[in-house]
A and B are shown apart, each in its own frame.
Chain A
Amino acid sequence: MSIIQELSHVLPKGIVLTGEEDTRPFECDGLSVYRQKPLAVVLPETIEQIKQVLKICKASNTPVVTRGAGTGLAGGAMPLEKSIVLGLSKLNQVKHIDVDKQLAVVEPGVRNIAISEAVASYGLYYAPDPSSQIACSIGGNVAENSGGVHCLKYGLTVHNVEAVKILTIDGEELILSRSDQGLGLLALMNGSEGLLGVIVEITVKLTKTPNLARVVMAGFDSVRDCANAVADIIKAGVIPAGLEMMDSFAIEAAEGFAQVGYPLDAQALLLCELDGTEAEVRSELDVVLKVLSGASSIKVSDNEQERLDLWKGRKSAFPAVGRLSPDYYCMDGTIPRRHLADMLEKINQLSKKYQLRVANVFHAGDGNLHPLILYDANIEGELERTEEFGTEILKLSVDMGGSITGEHGVGVEKLDAMCHQFNNKELEIFHKIKAVFDPESLLNPGKAVPELHRCAELGAMHVHHGQLPHPELERF
């Protein structure tokens, strides 16, 4: 019996999809340049059904690519030719809300924003807010350790998960919780990109909705002044709920799209959100306005509508840039904040070198950069040039003491860049960790961690943690 026959045999009708029209929508995730149709797509409705799927796949040596909402930006949920896609979107129930303990137990297919909606009447919300939050699922968030705009103050997914229930490739249940003595297996599961287990239930922490939030918008005549202002706000002892920066091209694109009154003459724009009680916001606002006294323009939201309007430009930056170019490529490097201005300068130099325009949108508060490289996939060689440009930015991020990915994950997209951030011994440890959970490498194989020969073939000069081998040698 073929794997498709076996799956169809044990599962109710409508759960196994095999036809061209049914499987085509699953051929890629949010990174649509990489596409591959799977053998079949399986959309189970219960944990028991997932166990059956895993048992059949294990017995027939069939790879399993688990998928949430498919909004990932690194190809982590891209199918493999001989794999099935295990889509968990039908497991979409909020199972339990504990208001006193500020916890909610949810199924993996629940959308990020649906958690906040379900608990809003209790004055609570789920803090991590990736920009895809209206669509992305909590299971995918855990698999990627997703971030968002509010990470500096409220943390990433890993900080907001209390427990997970996973299924191993053998279909065995394993519950991992913050209260476990011993190794940090719960943290390991966050950001494991579907390589270690299938996340089937998540207990998330809920945060009290702040009484008040206000946003300060500051325009600057120079990028460096804006970057310095970011450091100065933190130095002054304020942790904003959100701290976002945009360069002039991004300002222009966002304003053209959203028309919210961004200063078009500014070289850089800072959006600084403060939240808490009225007294807390007032005292933080005093400090921030003092720090931002060198800005060329300042606007503070006076009511909720103004606050949302000021955010609207930033939140629509991606589609706004999409309007200006047939395609764009979104990077996700992270650097220590003190290098922000230098990084922007270097990206501008590279933009000239590769003759490709870049709009820069940053989660400045935590040094997470999202340069958007504009290109046209229909022009021959332009995608390749874009990827080369992107790789240079990621290498720079590592060399400045940062990381190739802050919140999007490695997937298939950043496998080469991984060779730059980790040496062979470290990569070997990653492979061995996978083998502990999945010795036959059936869960999302080939993603997230490059094979050692791939790195060897890249033959790149290895710069590890900012140190070149033989630093005494001159290099050009």
Chain B
Amino acid sequence: MIDRITQIQDEIKQATTVNINSEWLNYSGVQEYFSEELVITVKASTPIAEICNVLAKNDQVLPFYIEDKNQSIGAAYAIGAEDLSDSVLGVQIIDGTGELLNFGGQVMKNVAGYDVARLLVGSAGKLAAITQISFKVMPKSYVNNLKTSIKTDQHSALRLEIERRLKTVFDPNGIFN
């Protein structure tokens, strides 16, 4: 049996356009959870509510504001929800050429290479297919007063140009819409 990751890679390699969303990705579930490490690794289509339930068994939580628990974790990552970025430790992605790549990891401290795992937070599915994400989690008692934050999209021409060029790094053929 061919695994889902290989299938996604093949689909991307053959596609001229792809609209990434949780249904298309169809890759769900908690991959690994080490409560004493404060780390959970989840597949991107996993509903946030499911992750919260798993964590709740050890009185742990995702330490960022969650707008909608029915959303998938990949969707929250893609829109750059609140302070989610602070909790990201690593990602597994498939880029626009179908390559499977890993950035960051499952440890709290990691400064090897550019922080691609946090760069892609807010990438709205336009740079790469995010397949798996590792998060730092916290005991419930340490997380309080989570608030929604207000973001601005008033960007300078220079920033827009940098974002445009960064897209071509991950998706040189422009297949992710």
| Neighbouring B residues of A192 by C-beta, 8 Å | 114
| Neighbouring A residues of B75 by C-beta, 8 Å | none
Contact A183 B166 (CB under 8 A): yes
Count of B residues near A, CB < 8 Å? 54
Q: What are the interface flags for A133-166 relative to B under an 8 Å C-beta threshold, 1 for contact and 0 otherwise?
A: 0000000000011010001110110110000000
Q: What are the interface flags for A178-215 relative to B under an 8 Å C-beta threshold, 1 for contact and 0 otherwise?
A: 11111111011011100010000000000000000000
Contact A239 B138 (CB under 8 A): yes
Q: Which of A182, A234, A403, A406 contacts B122 (CB 8 A)?
A: A182
Q: Which of B59, B80, B109 contacts A184 (CB 8 A)?
A: B80
| Neighbouring B residues of A436 by C-beta, 8 Å | 162, 165-166, 169
Contact B101 A403 (CB under 8 A): no
| Neighbouring B residues of A418 by C-beta, 8 Å | 112-113
Contact A403 B169 (CB under 8 A): no
Contact A429 B169 (CB under 8 A): yes
Distance between B127 CB and nearest chain A CB, rounded to angstroms? 8
| Neighbouring A residues of B127 by C-beta, 8 Å | 183
Complex Cα distance A385/B123, Å?
A: 44
Contact B110 A405 (CB under 8 A): yes
Contact A235 B35 (CB under 8 A): yes
Surface stretch bound by B, among A15-23, A89-97, A361-369: A361-369
Surface stretch bound by B, among A79-87, A252-260, A407-415: A407-415
Count of A residues near B, CB < 8 Å? 73
Surface stretch bound by A, among B3-11, B12-20, B49-57, B148-156: B148-156
Surface stretch bound by A, among B23-31, B36-44, B65-73: B36-44
Residue A77 interfacial (CB < 8 Å): no
Contact A433 B166 (CB under 8 A): yes
Contact B112 A336 (CB under 8 A): no
Distance between A174 CB and nearest chain B CB, rounded to angstroms? 6
Residue A338 interfacial (CB < 8 Å): yes
A429-B101 contact given A182-B163, A231-B36, CB 8 Å threshold: yes
Task: Name, among A145, A191, A196, A417, the residue most crowded by chain B CB atoms within 10 Å (CB to CB).
Answer: A191
A179-B107 contact given A168-B158, A234-B36, A338-B34, CB 8 Å threshold: no
Contact B102 A182 (CB under 8 A): no
Distance between A313 CB and nearest chain B CB, rounded to angstroms? 23
Residue A360 interfacial (CB < 8 Å): no
Complex Cα distance A367/B141, Å?
A: 22
Contact A151 B109 (CB under 8 A): yes
Chain B: which residue is nearest A408 at the CB level? B111
Complex Cα distance A184/B165, Å?
A: 14
| Neighbouring A residues of B141 by C-beta, 8 Å | 237
- Provide a sorted-by-A list of 12 A–B residue pairs whose CB atoms are within 8 angstroms: A145-B111, A158-B115, A181-B80, A184-B85, A191-B111, A191-B115, A234-B37, A235-B35, A334-B109, A336-B34, A430-B113, A433-B169
Q: Beyond the given A181-B80, A188-B115, A414-B112, could you list 11 further A-B residue pairs with CB under 8 A, ordered by the A residue number?
A: A147-B109, A151-B108, A179-B150, A183-B119, A183-B123, A334-B107, A338-B36, A366-B109, A410-B112, A426-B102, A433-B114
Report which A residues bind B (CB closer than 8 A).
Answer: 144-145, 147, 151-153, 155-156, 158-159, 168, 172, 174-176, 178-185, 187-188, 190-192, 196, 231-232, 234-235, 237-239, 334-338, 363, 366-368, 401-410, 414, 417-418, 421-422, 425-427, 429-430, 432-433, 436-437, 448-449, 464-465
Please name the 7 residue pairs, one residue from A and one from B, whose CB atoms are nearest each other, closest first: A406-B109, A187-B118, A366-B108, A403-B110, A181-B153, A432-B169, A436-B165
